[in-house]
Structure 1
Amino acid sequence: MPKPPREFPNPLFKRWLEEWRDQAGERGRFRLQRTYERALSSLLKYPLPLHSGREARILQYFGEHICRQLDEQLEKHRHAQEDLVAPTTSGSGQEDGPPSNRDVLASDVPFLPAPFSTKPDQLQGQQLKKTKSVSHRRARGYFPAQRSGACAVLVALYQDSTNPHTRGYLTKSELQRAAQPLCDKSFFLAGPGSKITAWSAVSTLIRKELVLKTNIPARYSLTESGLTLAKELSSLGKLPLSQDNDLSHPATGTEEPLVDSEGDDGRVSGQDTSPAERSGEPRPEVFKPQFTFHPGHFDVVLCVDFIETTGGPTSRKRDLVNELERNGVPFSIRKLHVGDFLWVARERNSAGQLLTAQELVLDYVVERKRMPDLCGSIIDGRFHEQKFRLRQCGISHIIYLVEDSGSVQHLSLPEKTLQQAITNTQVVDGFFVKRTCDIRESAAYLTIMTRQLTKLYGDKTLLSCTKEELERERPLQPRNDSCVLLTFAEFNEGAVKNKPQTVNEVFARQLMQISGISGEKAAAILEQYKTPASLLAAYATCRTAQEKEQLLSGIKCGKLQRNLGPALSKTLAQLYCTPGPLL
């Protein structure tokens, strides 16, 4: 039989460290939050009970401050126990005086052995202590500070629940945008010297069973206790917007239109309602950027995937970096989930120094392939998969950089096959193909692109958006004086290779496994039939087998809007309509 899980020997210390860690995060004291987190991690590894904070001094990351704090909390806990239960030790043979720290731990957590005999009346007294202690802790409750991350999340979810058109939940990006005006800290970017944002409060709310997280991608909603607390927080009054809110540009102080926190329709404060709104008809959503970059207040920076600087022989590891440095290109090495190079507009302060702050992804991405890499990707199937992910990443201008370095005579595929694959990438997929001779010429091309994009975007106003908003706003682009761009966090998170896939994405991959179905043709099919179920439903309405075979033949594909054709339509009908195995 499997052994029962080992019971943790220091539950009080663990609980207090977790509370102090969460409180520090809510107050924006991220260094202190990190200190408590490291101490908690060290405590969880220690297998023996600790009788006082002073004894914990032997553990890593337990300094004098934390140990003294634990002793003070332990003393308060002991006094609270004494206040709740009258002393019963007089005349029992025990010495007068306060119990030890171990006694306090034993009275609060029943599985710790007490250092004295457990008579029936003592057990009853200990159980009474435990029950009243728990009820006392519950009476104190959890009440986040105003304009903290936890408060903002609860109020944002409550405001959404009062919307008659609510879906009953918010996604992560929706919740971040709804909660940001209600919080003094950023939900998107960590402060200087920290990796934690206001979003970290959500884990606390989930652990305290105030917020429920379901589904993949995640959906957030209030529990019953969370709804009660959110109502109380919301009833305290309309939360004023902070002066350093992200809705105002830090360099210029120019404010974007503020959202009325009492409204449930996303309307700008003071805006008159239209006849359609008064009649209750659905209205198109108003685009409101989370932050804005004005001309002269950002720099264009080249982002290089770290694989491009670490792969290959040691002598070539830094060749690209050295060339970029020699050409004076501002660049940043980081992990990119799609593409090898892209450009971001990065905010800077009034002194012109670069900050670790907001970043917007420009509408250009580069996938670099040396001929051996191209050959290998075709053989193992990554060639089509990478191109599909590039088309889905939210960037319009995709550049396929082919480095013709080395000989192709000793590769596994003939040169004609490789050249045909490159041609198909340009003609069929619509990517811009750039050929270079070696890594130096590739660096020179990236240098020219960086300078051109600096000129192209330098006089524009850049507006941040989510991927859903970008798809909705893209028909309005290009604009002469402004453009809508994804934040780097939104772009890179949405491009994770192994993230959970939607039915629509799996259906697209399934279609592309059929010979003759390119990504372009698969996308055209998906425009009319989002899922296999919708396609099967369409086949079910067909009266004859011939009608099924011709169902998809008229779908328009590609820039030339050519028909999918009867051959592919028949193949798809056989695949999805044949009940048994295909012969």
Structure 2
Amino acid sequence: METRLEVRLREPNPLFTRWLERWLREAERRQQRSQHKLRQALEALKSYPLPLYSGRDCSVLRGFGGTLCQLIDEELRQHRAASQPQPQTTTAQYEEQVQQVVKAVQEKQQKTKKDPAKKPTKKAQLEQAAAEERERVVEMLPDSFEVLLLVDTQETSGKNKRVLDQTRSYLQSLGADHEVRRLTVGDFLWIARDADGSELVLPYIVERKRMDDLASSIRDGRFHEQKHRLRQCGLPNVIYLIEDYGDNEQLGLPLDSLLQALANTRIQSGIQVVRTENHYRSMCYLAGMSRALRQLFLSKSLHSVDRAALGSSSCLTDRRVGLLKFRDLYEDSAKNAHLTVREVFVQQLLQLHSLSMERALAIVELYPTPRLLLDAYEACEEVDQARRLLAGITCGALERPLGEKLSKCLYDFYGSEFR
């Protein structure tokens, strides 16, 4: 029976290993997220038995994305410029190390049978694939992609099977290329997809509501939370598509109150509001948007960027436009994904009566966490002073104060529920 021997150099890539160890120590000291990726790359490099000569060569290993490979190439250029390159391992040294490995393996096989290496779990493989996809840079040349409207699954299925949603049939009749898919934010958005299946999100997202749905979301607090999530998703152009509900009677809230909420959405939140007569007119609007976006973007070069660089890379007058990848938007916008304590505090405040987004943000600007607010209450000498603590906080364009009534309600809530 033939025995397969694993041949390794003792340290085939000492330079790359030393650089990765240094970067890993710096990332751990600064508590950066990159430390997990660097640790994974370092383990893969130490396990690789052959010499590597560039960052590009390292791309075959787990954990080595495009950014890390570029860092290695840059470090390698600086190293070669500062000193003479180290001589490569000679053939004689290589053969000697091979013989040592063969001997060690044979001795170990005589003592015990080596356990087969465990295959990575499916979850680990998916996580690795997701991490590599994050780092992959997508480039799309003009006219090498299609523009497609994505429709959230909630828009094509209703709880009542007898009342079928006509979204898909309307879009088909209007000639709008679309695809039904689960979205973690918004009801409609547009993507550019190339022949390789890469997908970039165009900088527009639409939330559709009927007037009765709008009233319901305002009553239960979802309206403010949805606006917050839409503004935080990274896409700069947010559109509220509002459909009339018959004669807009029996909505659950006065029509004037709903119109005021829409005006506040447009002026204070900076969200575009579009009103239509019915569902069909809404689909006509989306089909028109699809045609306009196709005409605008098909002649441009597109490339993927992260959210931090999106603001400076999405000028629609440029020939080259930076866009988010759909997968990144999907994962980052999942409800409650990667929320900071500050963001959770804002969502918590929005559930309280009479607290708008502007008021909640004004409170969180001064007290970023519930713990800091409770500490401020405890620092007050008297209860009346604590109840008036938030009364003078101003918010909105007119800088109106919260007032003593709302300040008292907040103190009573947190004083009774969190102490």
TM-score, structure 2 normalization: 0.65
Contact between 2:17 and 2:42, CA under 8 Å: does it hold in 1?
Answer: no
Q: Helix, strand or coil: the match of 2:186?
A: coil
Q: Which residue of 1 aligns with 2:298?
A: 458
CA deviation after TM superposition for structure 1 residue 516, in Å: 4.5
- The Cα of 1:313 is off from its aligned counterpart by 5.5
* 1:418 aligned onto 2:258: yes
Partners of 1:297 and 1:455 in 2: CA distance: 13
Tell me how far apart the structure 2 counterparts of residues 156 and 297 of structure 1 sit (CA, whole Å). 40
User: What is the match of residue 151 of structure 2?
Assistant: 304
State the Cα deviation string for residues 194-245 of structure 1 (Å, max 9, x = none).
xxxxxxxxxxxxxxxxxxxxxxxxx66748xx95654243973245638x99
Partner of 1:335: 182
Q: Secondary structure at the match of 2:26?
A: coil
Match of 1:321 in 2: 168
Structure 1 residues 522 and 295, CA gap change in structure 2 (3 angstroms): farther
| 441, 444, 447: which one aligns with 2:287 | 447
CA contact (8 A) 1:170 1:221 kept: no
Work out whether residues 404 and 436 of structure 1, in 8 Å CA contact, stay in contact via their aligned partners in 2. yes
Distance 1:512 1:234 in 2: 56
User: Residue in 2 aligned with 1:116?
Assistant: none
Other-structure match for 2:107: none
**Residue identity in the other structure for 1:427:** I
1-side partners of 2:17 and 2:329: how far apart?
A: 24
Q: Which residue identity does 2:48 align to in structure 1?
A: L
**Aligned-partner Cα distance in 2 for 1:491–1:222:** 26
Alpha carbons of structure 1 residues 221 and 372: separation in structure 2 relative to 1, 3 Å:
same
- Alignment-derived partner of residue 430 in structure 1: 270
Match of 2:116 in 1: none
Q: Are 1:494 and 2:341 matched, yes or no?
A: no
- TM-superposed CA distance for 1:437, in Å, is 1.3
1:331 Cα deviation after fit: 0.8
2:350 corresponds to which of 504, 508, 512? 512
Q: Distance in 2 between matches of 1:221 and 1:456?
A: 40
Structure 1 unmatched runs, 5+:
1-75, 81-135, 143-154, 176-218, 246-257, 272-287, 349-354
State the alpha-carbon separation in 1 of the partners of residues 280 and 43 from structure 2: 63
CA spacing shift, 1:386–1:532, aligned 2, 3 Å? same
User: Which residue in 2 is equivalent to 1:575?
Assistant: 411
1:333, distance to aligned residue in structure 2 (A): 0.7
Match of 2:233 in 1: 393
Q: Residues of 2 paired with 1:238 and 1:568: CA distance?
A: 69
CA distance in 2, matches of 1:404, 1:531: 39
- Judged with a 3 Å threshold, the aligned counterparts in structure 2 of structure 1 residues 570 and 374 are, in CA distance, closer, same or farther, namely closer
SS at match of 1:345: strand
Give CA deviations for 1:101-134 in whole Å, capped at 9, x if unaligned. Answer: xxxxxxxxxxxxxxxxxxxxxxxxxxxxxxxxxx
Q: Alpha-carbon deviation of 1:477?
A: 5.2
1:261 matches 2:69: yes
Q: Offset at 1:531?
A: 3.0
Compute the displacement of 1:383 (Å). 2.2
**CA–CA separation in structure 1 for the residues paired with 2:413 and 2:279:** 50
Q: Give the Cα–Cα distance (whole angstroms) in 1 for the partners of residues 75 and 271 of structure 2.
A: 39
- Contact 1:359 1:488 (8 Å CA) reproduced: yes
Q: Which of residues 43, 51, 68 in structure 2 aligns to 1:236?
A: 51
Q: Deviations over 1:49-102 (max 9, x none)?
A: xxxxxxxxxxxxxxxxxxxxxxxxxxx8xx99xxxxxxxxxxxxxxxxxxxxxx
- Asked whether 1:474 is paired with 2:311, we answer yes
> Alpha-carbon deviations, 1:481-514, whole Å to 9, x = none?
2333211111111122254643122111123234
Return the letter of the residue paired with 1:478: C
Quote how far apart the aligned CAs of 1:262 are: 7.1
| Separation of aligned partners in 1, 2:388 and 2:406 | 4
Q: How far apart, in 1, do the equivalents of 2:18 and 2:291 lie?
A: 44
Q: 1:425 to 1:541 in 2, by over 3 A?
A: same
Contact kept? 2:313, 2:321, Cα under 8 Å: no
The answer to whether the Cα contact below 8 Å between 2:212 and 2:245 also exists between their aligned partners in 1 is no
Tell me if structure 1 keeps the 8 A contact 2:233–2:333. yes
1:269 shift after superposition: 8.6
Residues 536-555 of structure 1 correspond to what in structure 2 (within 5 A)? 553=392
Residue 312 (structure 1) shift: 6.1
**Of 456-465 and 435-444, the range deviating more from structure 2:** 456-465
The residue type paired with residue 224 of structure 2 is: H
1:346, distance to aligned residue in structure 2 (A): 1.3
Inter-partner Cα distance in structure 1 for 2:49 and 2:345: 43
Contact 2:158 2:165 in 1 (8 A): no
Q: 1:394 to 1:581 in 2, by over 3 A?
A: closer
Shift of 1:579: 6.2
1:521–1:564 contact (8 Å) kept in structure 2: no
Residue 26 (structure 2) aligned to one of 162, 165, 170 = 165
Determine the C-alpha separation between the residues in 1 that align with 2:201 and 2:212.
29
Query: Residue type of the partner of 1:390?
Result: L
Q: 1:521 to 1:326 in 2, by over 3 A?
A: same
Shift of 1:520: 3.4
Q: Percent identity?
A: 33
Distance in 2, Cα, partners of 1:259 & 1:269: 14
Q: Distance in 1 between matches of 2:405 and 2:314?
A: 34
For the pair shown, the structure with the greater C-alpha radius of gyration is: 1
Instruction: Identify the range of structure 1 (289-298 vs 309-318) with the bigger mean alpha-carbon deviation.
Output: 309-318
**In the alignment, is the contact (CA less than 8 A) between 2:140 and 2:303 conserved in 1?**
yes
Instruction: Describe the superposition over 1:266-305 as per-residue Cα deviations: whole angstroms up to 9, x where unpaired.
Output: 969979xxxxxxxxxxxxxxxx982222322222211001
Q: Distance in 1 between matches of 2:363 and 2:7?
A: 54
Q: Which letter maps to 2:360?
A: A
Could you say which structure has the higher helix fraction? 2
Which secondary structure state, in structure 2, belongs to the residue aligned with residue 231 of structure 1? helix
- Kept in 2, the 8 Å contact 1:157–1:170? The answer is no
Q: Tell me, which stretches of 5 or more residues in structure 2 are unaligned?
A: 9-15, 61-65, 79-134
Contact 1:300/1:346 (CA < 8 Å) preserved in 2? yes
Task: Compute the TM-score of the two structures, normalised by the length of structure 1.
Answer: 0.49
1:378–1:229: structure 2 CA closer, same or farther, 3 Å change rule?
closer
1:342 is paired with a residue whose SS is strand
In 2, are the aligned partners of 1:298 and 1:347 still within 8 Å (CA)? yes
Partner of 1:41: none
Secondary structure of 2:360's counterpart equals helix
Given that 1:553 and 1:569 are in contact with CA atoms closer than 8 Å, whether structure 2 keeps it comes out as: no
Most deviating of 414-423 and 571-580: 571-580
Q: Distance in 2 between matches of 1:309 and 1:239?
A: 50
